[in-house]
Amino acid sequence: MKVNEMVMVIDNHKGIEKNFLCSFENFVKNHMSNACENFWEVAEMVTELEHTKDKDNAFCEMYFAPNKTMYARFCSGVNELRLFIAGKLNDGMTNVFEEDFCDKECLDVLFRLGISTDRSMAASKWPHYEKLESDFTQGEIYHNFNGSDYRLIEKYSGRNMLLMDVHSGQFVVGVGVDCFARYPQGEDRQSSLCEEGIEWGSGIYLGNTPSTINFSQLRKEYGIEKTIDTIDDYRASLNERFETYYTLAKNESISDSVREAATNAMYEEFGTGKRDTFITRRNAGEYDSGFAGMVAVEKNRGR
């Protein structure tokens, strides 16, 4: 069994919540079928449970009686699993973790991961990390072992890159990014509990408003510095900046506020949100005044 195949269940009975873990099959058979009156209700509830995979902190709700309600969601990863066992996902009510209610295969996963059920959140054994080779492709989404997923917005160098949390829209420069396989001690990459993800030596967090971020300065500070000697070099740098804004503005998987901020920044700097219009204006030299300013600065430095 994999971590993301487990169902985290909160059983609320008379204001006391009991947390436990079970497989999808047993959850449907032993719990969901008792809350639903017919097959169609079961099908609807299964669909709602499946949707919890795509939403942070979203639980589907099953009503049994005025004083009994059950909530459930698929586990998204080891970090969320620890929080659930510790009662950090409950709504402040009195809650306990009921090991006796859990499926044996779920408890086996906890044992292999070294996760205690005593709510201390302490690990009895730490996982093994194996470094992997990765080319890191711009636009791809990478999982971080902190529990978040990040889209690679721009590579500055081999291991320095601009990333964006796909859920919150938070931008971060990852310095010294590496890819790892993580699995329990005593196992290997063939383990059902093996995860692949990225880690960085340090992260510079920039907020989630593109218009307040100096992308040019980030490229200079964390990338292999590109010299701009000709008008073609300058126009190429404009392409990169426009594409960064455009990609964010059109990405429906990120928050509306981030998309709006990217759109505003694009219009403010380039006067358009259309790629073909930008290319036409760029080729016509409408943005070249910025290059003239750079040349003037370089001449002054040489005096």
**Distance (Å, whole) CA 57 – CA 74:** 10
Tell me the Ramachandran region of residue 170: left when phi exceeds 0, alpha when psi lies from -120 to 50, beta otherwise: beta
Given a cut of 60, whether residue 274 has pLDDT beyond it is yes
> Per-residue pLDDT tens for 106-119?
999 999 998 888 87
> Per-residue pLDDT tens for 224-245?
666 778 999 889 888 888 988 8
Q: What is the pLDDT of residue 303?
A: 43
pTM assigned to the model: 0.69
- Residue 25 tokens, joined: 């099959």
Most confident of 42-51, 195-204, 214-223, 245-254: 195-204
**Distance (Å, whole) CA 53 – CA 74:** 6
**Distance (Å, whole) CA 284 – CA 286:** 6
Residues near 140 by Cβ (< 8 Å), separated by ≥ 6?
151, 152
Secondary structure (DSSP) of 204-234: EEEES-GGG--HHHHHHHHS-PPP--SHHHH
Consecutive H or E run containing 236: helix 231-250
Residue bearing the bigger pLDDT, 191 or 303: 191
Contacts from 184-188 at CB under 8 Å and sequence distance 24+? 184/112, 184/113, 184/114, 184/125, 184/127, 184/128, 185/114, 185/125, 185/126, 185/127, 185/128, 187/112, 187/128
Other beta carbons within 10 angstroms of residue 303's beta carbon come to: 4
**Distance (Å, whole) CA 254 – CA 275:** 20
Q: How far is CA 141 from CA 10, 109, 198, in A?
A: 31, 26, 10
Going by C-alpha positions, the residue among 158, 112, 111 that lies closest to residue 137 is: 158
Task: Determine the residue type at 134.
Answer: S
Radius of gyration of the chain (CA): 25
CB 179 within 8 A of CB 131: yes
